[in-house]
């Protein structure tokens, strides 16, 4: 049985309910769940008792592409599917809690579930578990925890960015073709409304993430986009609505949280409902208007200038470094620092030139996986994992291939990075030559990025450059892995047991692979 494509049949309510119903007992039942959320590709669960979760049985479910243990327990279902399964899962949790509160006992693994993977899969699983343990320990630093918080602020905005980005692309196409001119203004309003107020949503999410009152975070961030700030002079110049953008909103909301907490500590309870919100909005508002907007505006402008300068002068070299290092950045959890940079570029220029280059890392990963498939003709376990995970890889969901194949094997992870570097070098070179390739939203990559492409030329030219970059990533990732991804001893060991052709997993990413050690999200936008 092969895993479902991220988009396959996800529109069926019965299938979504069946998936949710299958997941619930395998995570220990409703009583074992403390929180439920989802991002672009993952169902994120707060787990009370980790011992009640059945990893192998979860990864054996056809809809599950992998599991990730980080600050939450994350089940990779793929884009589209996760947004449909999550509300049904929440309903089932509420129903079970109402009927029988408390943790449900973990059921026995279903017959035929992958409780005893083959030797090869065991070896990969052991390596993947070790990688996961080291990575989890390394990501517990204050800096990386801070980056994770920043990612938590922006990841919920991704669906709106994608939807508005695609509508903006359709509107641009209609404008260029001269079709439906009466519809163009309406589509412009639909596509631009969210971006005009994105600072408010960032402020709301920031306050929520840092433990303040979300609506107060939104209120102080709204000052930044209020048209009336154009009448205010700060640092010798008139302010402009939107100055400082998402960075200013983030800073204002964090300040509001600290002021609110200070007020809660010192203001008498009888006056709290009046004094605390007033002081929070007033003090934060004054600091925002006469300090943060100007400072954040300068930083935002510097980010845009630096990104454009880097690709205009660095070209192929900049693209090579960015495309080649993105997978290691994901492994270290440092990719989360790029999310506000992407958002700032989209806010300033309507697209981010960095994302298409970083997406080349996923192309290198796909090429490397195909090479592994061909080099291990007798290893049915790994080949089954690759066959089930490749469709998702082409669509930009890279966790199953990374943690189920390349990273545990070692060398193929490095050669996948080489493929991404060459794809990034091509896109960077074309940018230096005058053809910028950007994305109007963050989150998707691979083929899923085509509807979101935008640049300084027409859509066809932009799409061709991006497509050739993908092909370069596929080809170099394949060749590098095929010729340099294995030592002779590795090939001998991994092809040794013909009985290993039995797959240990019915779909998903291959139990016994290291899929359980997936990256934290985000990135979010972490899928590549």
Active-site residue set: 39
The CA-based diameter of the chain, rounded to the nearest angstrom, is 76
Alpha carbons 11 and 422: distance in angstroms, whole number = 37
Alpha carbons 111 and 60: distance in angstroms, whole number = 11
Alpha carbons 172 and 351: distance in angstroms, whole number = 13
Structure tokens at 157: 């905005």
Backbone angles phi, psi at 383, to 5 degrees: -65, -40
C-alpha radius of gyration, the chain, whole number: 24
Alpha carbons 139 and 137: distance in angstroms, whole number = 5
**How, if at all, do strands 233-234 and 73-76 pair?**
unpaired
Residue 275 makes CB contacts below 8 A (sequence gap 6+) with: 263, 267
Alpha carbons 74 and 501: distance in angstroms, whole number = 29
Give residue 226's Cα distance to chain centre. 30
- Residue 56 host element (H or E): helix 55-60
DSSP annotation of 243 reads: T
Torsion of CA 39, 43, 46, 49, to 10 degrees: -160
Report in angstroms the alpha-carbon separations of 202 from 76, 154, 240, 252: 25, 7, 19, 10
Region of 78 on the Ramachandran plot (φ > 0 left; ψ -120 to 50 alpha; else beta): left
Residue 407 makes CB contacts below 8 A (sequence gap 6+) with: 128, 131, 331, 413, 514, 517
Report in angstroms the alpha-carbon separations of 293 from 193, 208, 216, 224: 21, 21, 17, 7
Q: Decide if 427 contacts 356 (C-beta within 8 A).
A: yes
Alpha carbons 202 and 249: distance in angstroms, whole number = 6
Q: Decide if 16 contacts 94 (C-beta within 8 A).
A: no
Cα angle vertex 415, ends 410, 420, to 5°? 130
Q: From 438, 403, 398, 434, select the one nearest 419 (Cα to Cα).
A: 398
Q: Decide if 314 contacts 432 (C-beta within 8 A).
A: yes
């Amino acid at each position: 049985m092969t895993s479902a494509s991220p988009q396959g049949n996800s529109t069926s309510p019965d299938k979504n309910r069946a998936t949710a119903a299958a997941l619930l007992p395998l995570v220990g039942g409703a009583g074992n769940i403390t929180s439920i959320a989802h991002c672009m590709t993952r169902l994120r669960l707060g787990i009370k008792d980790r011992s009640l979760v059945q990893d192998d049985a979860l990864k054996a479910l056809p809809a599950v592409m992998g599991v990730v243990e980080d600050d939450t327990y994350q089940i990779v279902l793929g884009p589209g599917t996760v947004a449909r399964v999550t509300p049904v899962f929440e309903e089932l949790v509420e129903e079970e809690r109402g009927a029988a509160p408390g943790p449900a006992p973990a059921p026995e693994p279903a017959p035929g579930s992958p409780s005893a993977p083959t030797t090869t899969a065991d070896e990969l699983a052991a390596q993947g578990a070790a990688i996961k343990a080291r990575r989890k320990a390394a990501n517990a630093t204050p800096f990386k925890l801070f980056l994770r918080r920043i990612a938590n602020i922006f990841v919920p905005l991704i669906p709106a960015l994608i939807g508005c980005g695609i509508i903006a692309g359709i509107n641009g196409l209609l404008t260029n073709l001269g079709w439906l001119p009466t519809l163009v203004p309406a589509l412009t309003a639909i596509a631009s409304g969210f971006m005009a107020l994105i600072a408010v949503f960032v402020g709301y999410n920031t306050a929520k993430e840092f433990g303040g009152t979300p609506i107060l975070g939104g209120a102080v961030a709204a000052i930044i986009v209020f048209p009336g700030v154009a009448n205010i002079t700060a640092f010798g110049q008139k302010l402009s609505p939107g100055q400082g953008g998402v960075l200013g909103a983030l800073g204002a909301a964090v300040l509001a949280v600290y002021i609110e907490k200070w007020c809660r500590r010192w203001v008498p309870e009888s006056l709290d409902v009046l004094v605390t919100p007033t002081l929070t909005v007033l003090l934060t508002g004054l600091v925002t208007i006469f300090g943060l907007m100007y400072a954040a505006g300068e930083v935002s402008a510097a980010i845009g200038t630096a990104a454009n300068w880097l690709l205009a002068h660095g070209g192929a070299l900049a693209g090579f470094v960015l495309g080649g290092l993105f997978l290691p950045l994901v492994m270290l959890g440092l990719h989360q620092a790029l999310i506000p940079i992407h958002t700032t570029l989209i806010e300033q220029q309507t697209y981010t030139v960095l994302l298409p280059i970083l997406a080349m890392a996923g192309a290198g990963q796909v090429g490397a996986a195909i090479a592994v498939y061909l080099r291990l003709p007798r290893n049915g376990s790994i080949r089954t994992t690759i066959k089930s995970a490749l469709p998702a890889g082409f669509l930009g969901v890279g966790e199953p291939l990374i943690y189920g194949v390349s990273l545990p094997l070692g060398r193929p992870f490095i050669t996948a990075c080489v493929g991404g570097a060459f794809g990034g070098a091509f896109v960077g070179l074309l940018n230096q030559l005058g053809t910028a390739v950007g994305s109007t939203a963050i989150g998707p990559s691979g083929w899923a990025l085509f509807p979101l492409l935008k640049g300084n030329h027409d859509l066809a030219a932009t799409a061709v450059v991006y497509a050739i970059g993908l092909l370069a990533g596929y080809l170099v990732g394949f060749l590098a892995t095929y010729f340099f991804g294995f030592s002779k001893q590795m090939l001998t060991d991994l092809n040794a047991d013909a009985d290993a052709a039995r797959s240990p997993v019915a779909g998903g990413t291959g139990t016994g692979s290291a899929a359980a050690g997936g990256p934290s999200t985000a990135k979010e936008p972490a899928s590549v």
